[in-house]
Amino acid sequence: MPNIQQLEALTTQVRRDILRMVHKVNSGHPGGSLGCAEFFVSLYSEIMETNDGFDMDGKGEDLFFLSNGHISPVYYSVLARSGYFPVDELNTFRLINSRLQGHPTTHEGLPGVRIASGSLGQGMSVAIGAAETKKLNKDKHLVYSLHGDGELQEGQNWEAIMYAAGNKVDNLIATIDLNGQQIDGSTDTVLPMGNLKAKFEAFGWTVVEIEQGNDIASILEGMSEAKSLSGKGKPVCVLLKTVMGNGVDFMMHTHAWHGKAPNDKQLEIGLAQNSETLGDY
Partner 1 sequence: MKTYTNTGNKDTRSGFGAGLTELGKTNENVVALCADLTGSLKMDEFKANHPERFFQVGIAEANMMGIAAGMTIGGKIPFTGTFANFSTGRVYDQIRQSIAYSHKNVKICASHAGVTLGEDGATHQILEDLGLMKMLPGMTVINTCDFNQTKAATLAIAKHHGPVYLRFGRPKVPNFTPEDQTFEIGKALKLIEGSDVTIVATGHLVWEALEAAKALNEEGISAEVINIHTIKPLDDQAILDSVAKTGCIVTAEEHNYLGGLGESVSRVLAKHKPTPQEFVATNDTFGESGTPAQLMDKYGLNSEAIQNAAKTVLQRK
Could you list the residues that contact partner 1 (CB under 8 A)? 56-59, 63, 65, 105-107, 114-119, 122-134, 136-137, 139, 155-156, 159-160, 162-163, 166-167
The torsion of the CA quartet 86, 109, 111, 37, rounded to 10 degrees, works out to 80
**What element of type H or E holds 162?**
helix 156-166
**Shortest spacing between CB 248 and partner 1, in angstroms:** 30
**What element of type H or E holds 267?**
helix 264-272
* Single-letter amino acid code for the residue at 231: G
* 145 bridge partner residues: 65, 174
Q: Which is nearer to partner 1, 132 or 201 (CB)?
A: 132
- Report how far apart, in Å, the C-alpha atoms of 268 and of each of 71, 87, 91, 150, 278 are: 21, 21, 18, 30, 18
**Shortest spacing between CB 162 and partner 1, in angstroms:** 7
Q: Which is nearer to partner 1, 11 or 145 (CB)?
A: 145
**Shortest spacing between CB 207 and partner 1, in angstroms:** 20
Q: Which is nearer to partner 1, 68 or 179 (CB)?
A: 68
**Shortest spacing between CB 194 and partner 1, in angstroms:** 22
CA dist., res. 137 & res. 123, Å (int)? 21
Q: Which is nearer to partner 1, 12 or 122 (CB)?
A: 122
